[in-house]
Amino acid sequence: MFFHLHREKRFSDEKTRFYVIEMILAIEFLHKNKMLYRDLKPENIMVDASGHIKLTDFGLSKMVKKHKDKAYTICGTPQYLAPEILSDEGYDGSVDWWSLGCVMYEMLVGKPAFRIPKGTYLCADLYKKKINVPEYVTPEAKDLITQLLVPNPKKRLGYGTDGAKKIKDHPYFEGINWEDAWNRKLKPPFVPNLKGETDLTYFDKMFTNEKIEGSKVSEVPSSIDGSEYKGFTFITNSVSMELAEMKNNEDNNDNNHNQFTVNDLIG
C-alpha cells in the first residue's frame, strides 16, 4: 500500500473507501480473536494478486485473555500511535481504530495526520491538536476521520465490544453490503498486472536490488533442549533440529580438524 500511495500521492474517495472497508473487517476479525494489532500503517498493508488487502507484520501484536483486558507496552509507529498508548492507564483495541483514522486521512490527503519529527519527545498532547481536513474530502469521510481520531478512547468511534459495528453503520459506508465485503465480492479499484508469482514489479527497487547475505552464527548454544528459549510464546520444531545439526557439524569439524588437505583450504 505504501508503494501505491507514494506513487499516486493520494487516493480517490472510492478507492479509499474500498481499502478502509477491508481494513475494518481485518481489525474486527483480530479483535474477535482477542488480538490487538497495534501497528496499522500503509507499510503493513499489502495488496494481493486479486486486488484485495492483507495485513502483515504481527511483531507488535498482542493476545489478550478477555476483550476488556488492557495492554501497557508502549509500542507502534509514532505517526499512527494512539495517545493512550503513551499513558500509564493501559489501552485496548480502540488503538487500532485510531490508527485506521490516521491511515484513512493519509490515503485521502496524501500526508500523515500527525507529523512527528525524529527526535521528538513523544507525549499524548502531540495527538490532541485539531487536524486540518481539506475541503475536497467529502463531509462523510471527514466526519468518520474526526470520530476515529478522538483522543479519549471511550468517546472514540469503535470503542467497546461492538465497536466495529458502530463504524460499519457510519454514513460513509451507506449502501455497502458487508457480507459481500467479507466474501471479497466487492470489486477492487486496482488489480496488479502481474506476469507471474515471482513478478516484483510493485516492489521498490531499493529492496529488490539489495545484496543477499546469509546470517552468520558465531557461537552455537551448548544446549539444544530449548532452555535458551524459555518464556518465548512460540518456537518451531525446526529450530531444535537446526541447532542439533549445527552442533553435530561443529563436533565433526573438531574431530576431523587434522584431515583437511591443501585443496580443502584453497578450494
What amino acid positions are annotated as catalytic residues? Answer: 39
Cα torsion 53, 54, 56, 61: sign: positive
H/E segment holding residue 55: strand 53-55
**Percentages (nearest 5) of helix, strand, coil residues in the chain:** 45, 5, 50
Dist. CA 107–CA 90, nearest whole Å:
29
The closest of 165, 162, 167, 159 to 141, measured between CA atoms, is 167
Q: In sequence order, which residues have a C-beta less than 8 Å from that of residue 237 and are 6 or more positions away? A: none
Phi/psi of residue 200, nearest 5 degrees: -110, 20
Dist. CA 99–CA 107, nearest whole Å:
12
Dist. CA 81–CA 204, nearest whole Å:
25
Residue 144, judged by CB atoms within 10 A of its CB (0-12, 13-18, 19+), counts as buried
